[in-house]
Amino acid sequence: MVLLAFAETVQLVPDGTIFIHIALILLMIWVLNRTFFRPINRIIESREKNKGGHSSESDKLLTEVSEKETKYNAALLEARSKGYSLIEKERTKALSKKQEKLSAAKEEVHQTLAAETAELDKQTVEARQLIATEAEKMAEKISSNILKG
């Protein structure tokens, strides 16, 4: 009920006081601009100017850093390529040494195989001769046993 009585007294239709309110708002904006916003804007502008002066110095530093980084990357790339070429040379040397040792081992095995094959052939010939003489002796013994018997 109290709210309804209060709502009846509130006037929602604009009247002549609206112009006074608008004038007060404009006066408040003018006073705030003079006393608050302009000094703050001046401080912000001076900071931007000072920042601009330091900006060129920071740009120089950034340029110098990027140049040094480029030089560092180039040196790193060169060192890596030298390292890779050194590794490749050592790998080539190791492979050639391996190939030489492998060839020497193959040659040694070939020579040993040839020597052993020759020895085996010699022993085969001797064994055949021995078997042939033994076969003749046995044949004589068998024939003499048959004739005696």
Q: What is the DSSP string of 73-132?
A: HHHHHHHHHHHHHHHHHHHHHHHHHHHHHHHHHHHHHHHHHHHHHHHHHHHHHHHHHHHH
Instruction: Report yes or no on 4 lying in a domain.
Output: no
* 42-75 pLDDT, tens digit each: 988 888 777 765 567 777 888 999 999 999 999 9
Can you give the pTM of this predicted structure?
Answer: 0.41
| Size of the chain, expressed as the number of residues it contains | 149
Give the chain's largest Cα–Cα span.
Answer: 171
Phi then psi dihedrals of residue 12, to 5 deg: -100, -5
Domain containing residue 65 = 18-148
Instruction: Report yes or no on 9 lying in a domain.
Output: no
Greater confidence, 50 or 87?
87
Instruction: Report yes or no on 109 lying in a domain.
Output: yes
Domains in the chain: how many in total?
A: 1
Instruction: Report yes or no on 102 lying in a domain.
Output: yes
Instruction: Report yes or no on 144 lying in a domain.
Output: yes
Position 28 confidence tier, pLDDT thresholds 50, 70, 90 = very high
Instruction: Report yes or no on 61 lying in a domain.
Output: yes
Mean pLDDT of the chain: 87
Instruction: Report yes or no on 8 lying in a domain.
Output: no
